[in-house]
Copies of this chain bind each other. A is one copy, B any other.
Amino acid sequence: MSKGYQLDIENEHVAKFFESKNFAFLATVNKDGSPQVTPVWIDLVKNNDEDSIILVNTAKGRLKHKNVSRDPRVSISMIDSETNPYSMITIKGKVIEQTTEGANLHIDDLAKRYLGTDTYPAHSADSERIILKIEPQQIFYIPPRYSQYLKKT
C-alpha cells in the first residue's frame, strides 16, 4: 500500500467519499471461503443518533446478503472517482444488523443521490430490499496522488 493514514469514520476526508456519487466495492466471503466483490451504493449515517455506521441496501437472497448472513466481516474500497481516483479509502467492517424496515425508502434516497431521480427505477415485487448496517472498524486513507499526470490524460 502507498503512504496512507488510519482515520476515524468522523474524519472530514472520509465523509467526503460518502457525499459524492462514488460507488463502494464491497467484499464478502463465499461459502467455500473464496472472496466476492461487488459495486454498491453506499451511505454513512448516525445509528440511533450516536455512532456513525455504513449502510448498504441490497435485496434479500442475493449473494452478498447470503455471505454476510454467514460471515458478517466485510471490506470496502472506494476511490474518489470525481476528483482524484488515486485518493482512496479502505474500510474493514462488520455487519452488525440487517433490517427490511425503511429499506424501500432508503433505496429511493440512494437513487436520488446517485441517479437524481425520486424513485429507485428497479423496484420489483419479486425482491425484498434489506439494509445492511456495517460497523466501521478500521479505516485506511490515501490522500490525492499523481495530480500532475491526471491533467495530461
Contact = CB atoms under 8 A, between A and B. Distances in A.
Interface of A: 1-2, 21, 23, 25-29, 33-39, 62-63, 71, 73-77, 79, 81, 85, 88, 90, 92, 114-117, 121-122, 146, 149-150, 152-153
Given A117-B149, A122-B2, A153-B21, A27 B33 contact: no
A38 B62 CA distance: 22
B146 A23 contact: no
A121 B146 contact: yes
A122 to B, nearest CB: 7
Given A36-B75, A37-B90, A115-B152, 13 more contacts: A1-B38, A25-B39, A28-B35, A29-B35, A35-B35, A35-B37, A35-B74, A35-B75, A37-B77, A114-B153, A115-B149, A115-B150, A116-B153
